[in-house]
Amino acid sequence: MHRVRKAPHALARHYRARRAQPVVELVHQPHPYARALSLVTVVLFGAWLGLLIVGNVRAPVGPMDTTMTLRPSLTGGTKINVSPLGALELRSHIAPIRLDVDVDQLDPVRSQALVDHPERLSGLQDEVTRDVGHGTLDLAVRSGVAVVSGATALGLAVYRRPRRALAAGGLALTLLAASGATAFATWNPKSVLEPKFSGLLSSAPSVVGNARSIVSEFDVYQKELARLVTNVTKLYDVTSTLPAYAPDPSTIRVLHVSDIHLNPASWKIIASLVKQYKIDAIVDSGDTMDHGTAAENGFLDPAADLGAPYVWVRGNHDSQVTQNYLERMDNVHVLDEGRAVSVAGLRFAGIGDPQYTPDRSVQQAGDPAEELAGARLSSFLNDQKAAGTPVDIAIAHNPVAARETDGEVPLALAGHLHHSEMEVMKYGTRLRIEGSTGGSGLRAVEGKHPDPIETSILYLDRDTRRLQAWDEIKLGGLGLTTAEVSRHLPRENQPGASLTPGTPSPSTPGSPSSPTPGTPSPTTPRSPSPSP
């Protein structure tokens, strides 16, 4: 009986003892450092995504329409992209964020007012300062919203806990505020006096003077900089007001480049033109290299990522090593021995230059070798026609070889001469010879006057695959900041013409067709005044 009365008390003590014992969990708790690293990773990646998606502001700066963006960076600073001229970088601040300013276009009204009234340049500095201030303020607000939204959304997707997600958003905002404070504390307004230029703008220091002359002759520097700004304004005025030819899906746009000769600025120009003109295919008619050595191969890497398929034939400065390297690249089509390929609705065929003459020590075979190569290409074209797959455009580096295709294709493309020509040959084939898209490379310093950078955009009808018009683009060579864009129409496409496409034109070879009254597309070059 005594044991029965004690049983409830013993049972209660037993359960109290069990509750007092530590509970062993089977779920592994992460290390605090690992949790912190995970949170920081989520915050940084989410903030970057937010900035990438919604963290940009379109703002007017003087006569320009710009897009401002904050980007993560180890060195900070400001980068101003002036497509297609290049970019300039300023050491404006030291912080883990960089300010990117993309110059999209010039407002026609504001830019024309600046060109017509150069005296307004004196107040341009204050106007730009105000515009940059307003744009930066808008960018700061939008960037704050972007990083908080990005980090919070990613935190919610990863942790599935609102509290952790809000903590990620708060930490992202704190990091952005700290970065902004650091940028403000290290702001260097004098960085504009020592910019780093790239692309075509690398010639700007020779135009505006070096740092020492800027300090000693600031008034002269202001005037020269104003002229440079005016020339850039006129360049954008030319390219923005030039009528676009058939801007509809029925038009195929081909960018013809040649004789780059290791000029790295050419890749930036090509990429910009591909984007601006919505290019469908790029044709390079050779001499991309200077000596064709394996050490130069790395220069070719941008060819695969220019935004359009790249069709290439070997020039006399390109070796078989060069060709083998390009053949392994994606988005690049190497044509040789009459090989044909269909790209962007057009059928191309080409042959590499039979001569390899990287320097004067190599004996040249001369025109007979080129004529033989052209005859082989013509035979290949004839075979394609007999097989029911006719070629639309034939490509050779040397015009001597390209002329052998007369009568086999509507259009033949070549380079080699370092100046542009257009002619209709005896049997109706139109031959386009491109200038040097690299400004002749290092050869630009051999003569008294530097060679211009030349390229052209060919507009072809998608149904007939015949040339409808072409734009010639010419940029000033080494040390120059001039530019011109001219529109040309084949004679058979001008109003009132009775000639059919492919019919030989009586126009003089090498010269554009004469303008016809009432033609909507101008054939007269429109260019800014020469730089100082």
Q: What is the DSSP string of 304-335?
A: GGSSS-EEE---TT--HHHHHHHHTSTTEEE-
* 261 & 375 share domain: yes
Is pLDDT of 67 > 90?
no
> Do residues 482 and 409 share a domain?
yes
Cα distance between residue 476 and residue 482, in whole Å: 5
Domain boundary residue, one of 221, 241, 261: 241
Placement of tokens 């998608």 in the chain: 462
Where among 203, 227, 251 does a domain terminate?
Answer: 203
Give the model's confidence band at 499: pLDDT under 50 very low, under 70 low, under 90 confident, else very high.
very low
CA–CA distance, 321 with 451 (Å, rounded to integer) = 28
Lowest mean pLDDT among 315-324, 351-360, 398-407: 351-360
* Cα Rg, the chain, nearest whole Å: 31
Residue 391 lies in a domain: yes
In this structure, is residue 516 part of a structural domain?
Answer: no
pLDDT of residue 327: 95
CA distance 165 to 152: 5
How many angstroms separate the CA atoms of 50 and 63, rounded? 29
In a domain, 1, yes or no: no
343-386 residue pLDDT tens: 999 999 999 999 988 755 555 768 899 999 999 999 999 999 99
Same domain for 295 and 257? yes
> Is residue 443 located within the same domain as residue 309?
yes
- Of the candidates 145, 144, 139, which has an alpha carbon nearest to the alpha carbon of residue 68? 139
**For residues 86 and 517, which has the higher predicted lDDT (pLDDT)?**
86
Confirm whether 22 is domain-assigned: no
Here the tokens at position 168 are 């990620």
Question: Do both 149 and 262 map to the same domain?
Answer: no
Question: Would residue 528 count as lying in a domain?
Answer: no
What are the b/e assignments for 326-349, b being 16+ CB within 10 Å? Answer: beebeebbbbbebebeebbebbbb
CB 351 within 8 A of CB 337: yes
Does 495 score more than 70 pLDDT? no
Range of the domain at 218: 212-241
CA angle 270, 49, 71 (to 5 degrees): 60
Find the CATH number of the domain harbouring 318. 3.60.21.10
pTM of the model: 0.53
Are the C-beta atoms of 399 and 417 separated by less than 8 Å?
yes
**Residues near 407 by Cβ (< 8 Å), separated by ≥ 6?**
425, 426, 427, 428, 429
pLDDT at 204 over 70: no
Residue where the block lists tokens 């940028």: 183
Name the residue among 326, 342, 314, 327 with its Cα closest to residue 252. 342
Task: Tell whether the model's pLDDT for residue 173 goes beyond 90.
Answer: no
Q: Is 152 within a domain?
A: yes
On whether both 292 and 149 belong to a single domain, the answer is no
Q: Please give the Cα distance from 480 to 532 (Å, whole number).
A: 8
Number of separate domains in the chain: 3
CA 495 to chain centre: 35
Element (H, E) at 487: strand 483-488
Q: Same domain, yes or no, for 173 and 298?
A: no
Where does residue 405 rank: exposed (0-12), middle (13-18), buried (19+ CB within 10 A)? buried
Check: CB of residue 143 under 8 Å from CB of residue 268.
no
Residue 137 lies in a domain: yes
Residue 512 has pLDDT above 80, yes or no: no
Does 140 lie in the same domain as 265? no
- Same domain, yes or no: 187 and 223: no
Same domain, 256 and 394: yes
Residue 129 domain-assigned (yes or no): yes
pLDDT (0 to 100) of residue 106: 63
Report pLDDT digits (tens) over 422-472: 999 999 999 999 999 888 765 554 555 667 889 999 999 999 999 988 888
278 and 175 in a common domain: no
Same domain, 338 and 480: yes
pLDDT at position 498 is 52
